[in-house]
Structure formats: C-alpha cells, structure tokens
A and B are shown apart, each in its own frame.
Chain A
C-alpha cells in the first residue's frame, strides 16, 4: 500500500507539492494563532522550498518521478517534430510488425512444440543410403511390416509410432452424398496413449484397434474437423464414414488443440494403420516412423540396433527388388538410420519453407535495422541541436545517467508507439502470408496464437530497438563538455561523422536486401516465363475416380459423352495431369539387356491427348484407338537421346523389366510410334527427364483389358474460363451412373501456377521489402544531408564569400555521402554473395554473379541517392553568404 501511494504520489507530483505547502502553511497559522511571532514562526521552517523537497522525496518514488518528467519532455520533443516523428513511428512499426509476423510464422512452423506430452523426447526416423540409381538419397517413409519388427525389437528402450501424412482424401458421409475432401492420416494404435491425449468426445484409438489388418474400421475425428464440419454435434459418434469401398465408424473426437504431427496441415480424420491396404505390403513405404524415448535410454545404441533390424528386414524382403542387379541391391541395403528431433512436428512444408522463411527473416530484420538507423540518425541530429541544452543541464548538476535516461525515454516512447502499430500489422500480415503459402483449394493451416512466446519475442525486440535507437545519441549527448558546447561549437563534425557511418551501414543493409530481392524476383520471372511446350489455355482437368475400377471402354464412352456437350472442343484422358506432382518411373531395358542406370518416367494417355495439350509430334504418329499398353509408346527427345542416341527411334522397341506380362514372344514390349519435344513432367524446376507415353488402354498378358480406377479428363473448352463448365460436366458424369465420379476440379493453368507459389511468395515479399528498404534509405539519406547542409551553413557561406564555385559547393556537400554509399554498397553486395551462396538452390537459372543481378540494386540505390540528395544540394546552392554571415 505504501509503495502504491508513493507511486501514485509520483504520478501526481504537482498536487503533492500543493498539499505539502498547505499543511506547512496551516502549521504556521496555528503557531501564529497560539501567539508566536509571525516572522519567527515562518523562519522556523527555514527555506520553504527545501522543506517541501525533503517532504516530497519521502512521499514519492523519486526515479519514477524523473522518468515521468522525461517521458513528458520526450513527448513534447516528438510532438514538436510531428512529421519526422510520425515517419519514424511508421517505419519502426513496419519493421517491428514484419519481424514479429515473420517470427510468428517461423515459430509456428518450425519451433513450437506439438501439444503433446513428451514432445522433447520425440524423434523421427529416416535413413540415408545410395538410391537405386546411384545417387545419395534419404528416405523417411517406411513399410509397415518393417515398422512392426523395429517396434518389437526396441520396445524396452523406446516406443515406435507410425503416422502417415494427412493426405487429402475423397470421403463420403453417406453413399449418396457428394464426395468431400478431408485430410486423412493413418496412425498406429499407440499414438494417442503415448502422446498423452484425451478425447473430447467418445474414445480414441488404442493399440487394440490396430491389432489386425482390416478388422477395426474405427475413425477418430480431430476437434477442428468436428467443429467446422459438424458444429460440435455430439451425435457424430457412431456415424459411418466411407473412403473408397471401406466404411468406418466414428468412435471419438480428439483433444482441442491436437491437429496431427504434420505442421501446416490439419488432420481431419485419424484411422488405424492396419486399415490401410499398404500396411500388409513389405515393399510399400508409406508412413513415417516416430520414436518416443523411454527415460534412461540412450539414442546411439538404439540407432545402431534399429539399423541392424532394418537391414535384416530389407535383406529378406523378396518383393522389394524385383529385376534389380545384385550390385545395386547391395548398394541400396547399405543404409544408415538417422534420428531427427520431431518435437515440433515433421512436414514437407517445413522442409520446403525452412530456408525461404530464413531468408524472409533476414530481410525483415534488415528492414528493421534500416529503420532503426534512420530513427537513430534523426535522434542524433536532434541531440546535436540540443547540445547547448545538454551542456546547460550538465553544468547545473544533471548526472550523465539522467541525460542517458532522458534520451532513452524518448526512444522508448517511439518504440512503444511503433510496437502498438507493429502489433496490429503483425496480427494482420502473418495469417495473410500463411494464406499465400499453398494452393487456394488446399491452404496451409497453422495455429498462430499470440501467446507468451510471441509476446516475449516482441518485448525483446522492443528492448533491442530502444537500445539501438537511443544508446548512441544518449552516450553522445551525455559526453558533451559543457564549457565547449556553451561557447558555441565543440567539434561540430562529430555528430556528422557518426551519421555518415550510419549512412554507410544503411546503404549496406539496403543493398543486401535489394540484391537478394533481385535474385528472388529474377528467379520467379524466369520460372514463370519458362517455355512449357504445351498449352495451358482453356484446359479443364476433371480428376475422376471409379471405385474398384472401370474398363477403358467405359472411360472412353464417358469422354465421348463429354465431347457432345456444347462449348467443348476436345476431350482426352490421361492417368494424371502434367505438373500434377505425380511421377512414376520405370527401368528401361533394350532388347532384353539389363536396365541402364537412368530410369524413365511414363504417363498413360488416350489418343488425342497430345493434340488437346497442343504438344506437337517431332516425328511418327499419335496413338490410335486400337493401340494398347504394352504395345505402342510415344517418347520424348530426352528419351531418344538417353536410350537411342544417334538413331531413328521410330519402330524400335524397349521393355520394362518390372512388367509382369512380359512374354518371350515379344508380348509386353513397347514399340515406339512417335516422338515429342520435351515438356516439364512433374515440376517446372527439374531438368528434362526421359519420358514415355503409353496408351490409356492397358491389357494383361492374354490381351484382356484391365480396369482403371482413377484418371483425369483433359478438356479443351471454347470459353475463355474453362471452370464455368465444370459443375455441369461433373453432374453429367454422375448422371451416367457408370461408377465414375469427379473427385477434383482444376485447370492446367492452375497446376502451372501452383508450381511457382513459393517462388511467387518470396519474390513478392522480397520486392516489397526491397522497396521499403530503398524508401527508408532514401529518407535517411535526405535527412542526413539536409542536416549536414544546415549545420554547415556558416562554412558554406564563407566558402561562397571567398569565391568557391557552385561545383565546389556541390562536391563539398555530396562527396562524403557518395563515398559512404559506395562503401556501404560494396559491403552490402559482399554480404549478399555470402547470403546467396547459402540459398543457391532456391534460385532458378539465376546466379549471384550475374551482372544484371548486381546492376539492378546498384542503379536503384544510385537513383535513390540522387533523388534524396537533390533538395539538400539546392539548399546549399541557395545559401546567401551575406545573410549567413550577418546572422552569425
């Protein structure tokens, strides 16, 4: 209570003084009333002022009072330079807000532990090896039988948990409903208990639910899915969920905050591992394996043990290496297990964005630094113009500490105002950037809470900013030597030297930002403008599923029905679209020879697919209705270069050793009927691969047609926007009741755009921060030059009076600054080279040493510098010597 009263007394200092005065006065009145001599009564108190000060210091917290006074004084200083202060607050707010937003994204995706018990003891298993094709590879997906033997082998020291990625899956809630998409993950039954999770409703999966293949069709919903799909309806328990031809019963809802282990994706439905058909296959590596360390167990012996167990499993796996040479099998079996900490979850999004986010963090930190330098410069200039005031304060007894406090208060005031605005900016921008991370129909989802982690970071940032802003000017101001300053000019160049150094620093940061930005923007542009070799115009893609499968004739009839719809130019079928991120490779053997080291990728397409995609034929012909796979093949030019160098490929044959239907009489061989140019197959960024197209209609070894359970209709429409037809086509397919249903609608253009999302995002952000950095550096330059011309008015006046030329004056004013810009620019680019080398793989066909990558930032900075210096130069040239000299 007493501390509180002293604090409140500090806040209302004036009133306290009045009260003290009143009490002392009433004492004097009493004394006089009781007959004392008025003069003597007054004298007993001595100096009234001293009495009051002594009383005041007892009743109020002294330092708080002085801080308050400094804050008031600082506020008045800021208010006097409204425009400069507003600019300072805005630029700091942008810097702080961007940093906090970047931190929120990086923290949420990469650092924040999963809401489970024992997150710090959770690891994920991966294996390093030489891939089947001789390149070093790392695989973090495992086969379930392999997982089972590993789990049993180490069950005393650690628990192994299998979790599949949460794939976007077609589900239906009753057989008549439309297909919906949900993120479905298969998990081993021990996951929920080991993670210490409790159900919000019903029960969670247990090891018993995962004890036999296909026997426990139970599903657990995530709380998030239960909330947005069912509005937290408790009657969801017992409902049926259909996936393909399987039916699952909902048995419970997971805890409120658990959304799976895959950061960036919210798992909607958890199913038992053993309910997936792959779980019984020795050679299907399809889920991740996590390891929860038991207390007292050590990692390294575990790792060695598991490596042995895994090796034994792989070595006896009979189905894993059909058609491989013993040498390549031995090479493959030489695997080394590695553990990675997985307490913050594991996802492809983390892998894809780790370095992009790192770059983003670097850019925003630099922008904040530039803003800080700007504001520190502003404060140095103000402090310099207040050097007489500081000298006066020191000479009447102000301590250095008090002066430092005075300036730090002012910078804290700026930083606090900026951080309020910055918090608003961060609250908006972090979710905004997150929404741009993935394709719009499957956005990345992350929890972005504003909890103590974010607040702590924000607070630390503010402290750093306050110190950056205030410390230098404060130390300078407090180092003022009163005698010299009051005499009117102690080393007038000192603050300018400091500010020139700041300019160099600022230009260095700015050119670093611009350099990196230009690399990212150029990468994006080159990727975006990469020649595709096929058309993306008016191409609608209907990804269609057919339950257990339908014969090619059914698919062809459906395509025929689509062709009859008005507004449709052509319809073709492929198993999956180009750039759809699906790729399947196959070994190629020529004339029965063992397969070479390079695999080829393939795609099944119907006749007319090439012309619908506007992919020309270099030679040969397109598929005909009678062609089937195996049988005919169309290959691309890289395929020809790889397997038939220098030969005419038309009419030549090759085989796929993995083909079950290969017969000695040549059935199962592929005969090349056509050659096409190279087109990107799975990703825009990858080099051209050997690709062969095979007919959509597949036959088995007695030439009977095989069923197809999913494929994509490729539809060229007359209308500019192909999506307008999508819904009527989807209904048309459903109404045919032949088992075919559209599961996903997209366009070829969207698939191409989805390929460049990361590059677009980083290019956009880099360009934005580049522009901000340039603007801030320009403002900083202008302010410094302007201040310097004002300070040197006397000198310029004298030089003019004694006959200096205008060119001489311009040189005098700008020489130093441009020297600093050159120095800073070089330093920035040198830093840029270093930074660019660490992220080289993020660039596409762009190298840090490209001349235009250097020219662009250099030109931008020079141009900005010119614009920023012009006003100061004009001011210098307009100096009227007589006026200046008279004023002095």
Chain B
C-alpha cells in the first residue's frame, strides 16, 4: 500500500487536479476524493495535507473561504485561482515528462 511519503512530490498536483474538477471542497473532502479516485491506493495524511493547502494558499494558487455547513459548523472550502490553473498545467506536464522518463528507464533496464 502506497503511503503518504510517496506522495511527497505529487500532493500539490493531486490537490490542484481535484480542485480543478470539483471546486469548493474542504480539507476532508479533498482527502476523501484523493482516496476515492485513486481507488484507495493513494492517501494524503492530514499532517501533510493542511500545510500543503496553506502553502498553496500563500502562493496564490488556491483561495479559501469559510462557509456555513448544514450542521451549523463552519468549514473552510478551497478553490482554484487563475494562477493555480496555470500551475496545474505546469505540474501536469512535468509529471507526464517524469513518469514517461521513469517508464522508459523501467523498460530498458
């Protein structure tokens, strides 16, 4: 089972991708979405998810907003900014290049 550490470099990419498809998710929902869409293979730990969210917020890729939930509690939901969309594109193509390269190495070795 792939645990968080293997996600290190790609957590940002996953979060940005999830948010680009489904805007206005809170932290738990993002974590759940990563787990669900990866077929429970990838799992973002709480301990790294929130620092990553804050870092991306300060970098201006995502923005956050407090909303009132049905339960009466407040939740902080995130969505992509224009800068975030550009960043997503860059990260995706970088990921493609890297995985292509890794695959080539695996094939030829």
Nearest A residue to B32 by beta-carbon distance? A34
| Cβ A2 vs Cβ B58 within 8 A | yes
Q: Does A179 contact B (CB under 8 A)?
A: no
Q: How far is the CA of A85 from the CA of B40 in the complex (A)?
A: 64
- In the complex, chain A residues 1-50 whose Cβ is within 8 Å of any chain B Cβ: 1-2, 5-6, 19, 22-24, 26-27, 29-31, 34, 44-46
| Cβ A59 vs Cβ B54 within 8 A | yes
Q: Does B51 contact A (CB under 8 A)?
A: yes
Q: Which residues of A contact B54 (CB under 8 A)?
A: 55, 58-59
- In the complex, chain B residues 48-91 whose Cβ is within 8 Å of any chain A Cβ: 50-51, 54-55, 57-60, 69, 71, 73-76
- In the complex, chain A residues 93-112 whose Cβ is within 8 Å of any chain B Cβ: none
Q: Which residues of B contact A30 (CB under 8 A)?
A: 26, 28-29, 75
Q: Does B39 contact A (CB under 8 A)?
A: no
Q: Does A450 contact B (CB under 8 A)?
A: no
Q: Does B5 contact A (CB under 8 A)?
A: no
Give the shortest distance, in Å, between B15 (CB) and chain A (any CB): 14
| Cβ B58 vs Cβ A23 within 8 A | no
Q: How far is the CA of A632 from the CA of B48 in the complex (A)?
A: 112
| Cβ B46 vs Cβ A44 within 8 A | yes
Q: Does A208 contact B (CB under 8 A)?
A: no
How many chain A residues have a CB neighbour from B under 8 Å?
Answer: 22
A2-B60, A22-B74, A55-B54 are known contacts. Are A31 and B28 too (CB-CB below 8 A)?
A: yes
- Looking at chain A's contact residues, the main secondary structure is helix
- In the complex, chain A residues 306-333 whose Cβ is within 8 Å of any chain B Cβ: none
| Cβ B45 vs Cβ A26 within 8 A | no
Q: Which residues of B contact A55 (CB under 8 A)?
A: 50-51, 54
Nearest A residue to B29 by beta-carbon distance? A30
| Cβ B27 vs Cβ A23 within 8 A | yes
| Cβ B46 vs Cβ A1 within 8 A | no
Q: Does A54 contact B (CB under 8 A)?
A: yes
Q: Which residues of B contact A44 (CB under 8 A)?
A: 45-47
| Cβ B27 vs Cβ A27 within 8 A | yes
Q: Which residues of B contact A5 (CB under 8 A)?
A: 58
Q: Which residues of B contact A59 (CB under 8 A)?
A: 54, 57-58
Most B-side CB within 10 Å, residue of A19, A26, A29, A54: A26
Q: Which residue of A2, A26, A34, A45 is within 8 Å of B76 (Cβ)?
A: A26
Q: How far is the CA of A23 from the CA of B26 in the complex (A)?
A: 9
Q: Give the interface residue-count category, chain B.
A: 20 to 34
Q: Which residue of B29, B47, B59, B60 is within 8 Å of A45 (Cβ)?
A: B47
Give the shortest distance, in Å, between A281 (CB) and chain B (any CB): 79
Q: Which residues of B contact A45 (CB under 8 A)?
A: 46-47
Give the shortest distance, in Å, between B62 (CB) and chain A (any CB): 12
| Cβ B46 vs Cβ A29 within 8 A | no
Q: How far is the CA of A22 from the CA of B67 in the complex (A)?
A: 12
Q: Which residues of A contact B73 (CB under 8 A)?
A: 26, 29
Nearest A residue to B31 by beta-carbon distance? A27
Q: How far is the CA of A278 from the CA of B93 in the complex (A)?
A: 89
Q: Which residue of A2, A6, A29, A51 is within 8 Å of B47 (Cβ)?
A: A51
| Cβ B75 vs Cβ A26 within 8 A | yes
Nearest A residue to B49 by beta-carbon distance? A27
Nearest A residue to B76 by beta-carbon distance? A23
Give the shortest distance, in Å, between B1 (CB) and chain A (any CB): 16
| Cβ A27 vs Cβ B58 within 8 A | no
| Cβ B75 vs Cβ A58 within 8 A | no
Q: Which residues of A contact B60 (CB under 8 A)?
A: 1-2
Q: Which residues of A contact B75 (CB under 8 A)?
A: 23, 26, 30
Give the shortest distance, in Å, between A59 (CB) and chain B (any CB): 5
Q: How far is the CA of A112 from the CA of B61 in the complex (A)?
A: 51
Q: How far is the CA of A5 from the CA of B28 in the complex (A)?
A: 24
Q: How far is the CA of A31 from the CA of B54 in the complex (A)?
A: 20
Give the shortest distance, in Å, between B24 (CB) and chain A (any CB): 14
Give the shortest distance, in Å, between B51 (CB) and chain A (any CB): 6
Q: How far is the CA of A58 from the CA of B55 in the complex (A)?
A: 6
Nearest B residue to A41 by beta-carbon distance? B46
Q: How far is the CA of A26 from the CA of B64 in the complex (A)?
A: 15
| Cβ A26 vs Cβ B50 within 8 A | no
| Cβ A26 vs Cβ B58 within 8 A | no
Q: How far is the CA of A31 from the CA of B28 in the complex (A)?
A: 7
| Cβ A27 vs Cβ B26 within 8 A | yes
| Cβ A2 vs Cβ B59 within 8 A | yes
Nearest A residue to B60 by beta-carbon distance? A2
Q: Which residues of A contact B74 (CB under 8 A)?
A: 22, 26
A55-B51, A58-B54 are known contacts. Are A26 and B26 too (CB-CB below 8 A)?
A: yes
Chain B 7-32 per-residue mask, 1 if CB under 8 angstroms from chain A, else 0: 00000000000000000001111001
Nearest B residue to A1 by beta-carbon distance? B60
Q: Which residues of A contact B45 (CB under 8 A)?
A: 44
Give the shortest distance, in Å, between A364 (CB) and chain B (any CB): 48
Nearest A residue to B30 by beta-carbon distance? A27
Q: How far is the CA of A44 from the CA of B43 in the complex (A)?
A: 12
| Cβ B26 vs Cβ A6 within 8 A | no
Q: Which residues of A contact B28 (CB under 8 A)?
A: 26-27, 30-31, 34
Q: How far is the CA of A5 from the CA of B71 in the complex (A)?
A: 29
| Cβ A54 vs Cβ B76 within 8 A | no
Chain A 190-203 per-residue mask, 1 if CB under 8 angstroms from chain B, else 0: 00000000000000
Q: How far is the CA of A201 from the CA of B69 in the complex (A)?
A: 71
Give the shortest distance, in Å, between A397 (CB) and chain B (any CB): 23
Q: Which residues of B contact A54 (CB under 8 A)?
A: 51
Give the shortest distance, in Å, between B89 (CB) and chain A (any CB): 20
Give the shortest distance, in Å, between B17 (CB) and chain A (any CB): 20
| Cβ A23 vs Cβ B50 within 8 A | yes
B interface residues with partner A (beta carbon < 8 Å): 26-29, 32, 45-47, 50-51, 54-55, 57-60, 69, 71, 73-76
> What are 12 sample pairs from A and B whose C-beta atoms fall under 8 A apart?
A2-B58, A2-B60, A5-B58, A22-B74, A26-B28, A26-B74, A34-B28, A44-B47, A45-B47, A51-B46, A51-B47, A55-B54
In the complex, besides A23-B27, A45-B46, 17 extra interface pairs with C-beta distance below 8 angstroms are A5-B58, A6-B58, A23-B76, A26-B26, A26-B28, A26-B74, A26-B75, A27-B26, A27-B27, A30-B75, A44-B46, A44-B47, A51-B46, A54-B51, A55-B50, A58-B58, A59-B54
Top 10 nearest A-B pairs (CB, nearest first) are: A30-B28, A58-B54, A23-B76, A2-B58, A27-B28, A44-B46, A26-B75, A27-B27, A59-B54, A45-B46
